[in-house]
């Protein structure tokens, strides 16, 4: 792209957050979810798991159970981005060395991938 150029980029659902999976909707007993009595349909909650935090949507709160949707909120949706290249920033090797976590421009990751 050239500076000032605009593009529309479309990413189909299966290449973005995946297709919507009905198997990721689960009903759990109310007593297995702390604070379930305060939940409402449509609430978004974060649960702890061995793999890390999970963000889920409350589909339905019943008398004895809660139905949760573990799909990502963008699952099943095509993504469309409107992009415009406004500038190009190049860092010198000296500036790159100043970044404690590595180069912000990505050249260190490029060097690593080329060395592999």
Chain segment 62-80, per-residue pLDDT in tens: 999 999 999 999 999 999 9
What is the residue whose two structure tokens read 């349909």? 41
Plot region of 59 (φ>0 → left; ψ -120 to 50 → alpha; else → beta): alpha
Query: How open is the CA angle 94-96-100, to the nearest 5 degrees?
Result: 115
56 CB-contact burial (10 Å; exposed 0-12 / middle 13-18 / buried 19+): buried
In degrees rounded to 5, what are phi and psi of residue 58? -80, 115
Q: Examine the pLDDT at 91 and tell me if it is beyond 80.
A: no
Q: Which tops the pLDDT comparison, 66 or 92?
A: 66
- Give pLDDT, residue 100: 59
Range scoring the smallest mean pLDDT among 16-20, 48-52, 82-86: 48-52
Task: Give residue-wise pLDDT tens across range 1-41.
Answer: 899 999 999 999 999 999 999 999 999 999 988 888 899 99
Question: Across residues 83-95, what is the average pLDDT?
Answer: 76
List Cβ neighbours of 13 (8 Å cut-off, separation of 6 or more): 19, 20, 75, 76, 77, 78, 79
Q: Examine the pLDDT at 116 and tell me if it is beyond 60.
A: no
Q: What is the pTM of this model?
A: 0.65
């Amino acid at each position: 792209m050239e500076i000032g150029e605009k593009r529309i980029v479309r990413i189909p659902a299966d290449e973005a957050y995946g297709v919507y999976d009905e198997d990721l909707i689960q009903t759990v007993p109310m007593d297995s979810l702390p604070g379930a009595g305060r939940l409402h349909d449509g609430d978004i909650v974060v649960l702890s798991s061995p793999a890390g935090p999970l963000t889920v949507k409350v589909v339905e709160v019943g008398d004895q159970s809660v139905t949760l949707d573990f799909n990502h909120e963008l699952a099943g949706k095509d993504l469309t981005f409107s992009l415009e290249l406004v500038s190009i920033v190049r860092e010198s090797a000296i500036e790159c060395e100043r970044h404690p976590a590595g180069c912000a421009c990505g050249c260190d990751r490029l060097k690593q991938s080329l060395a592999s």
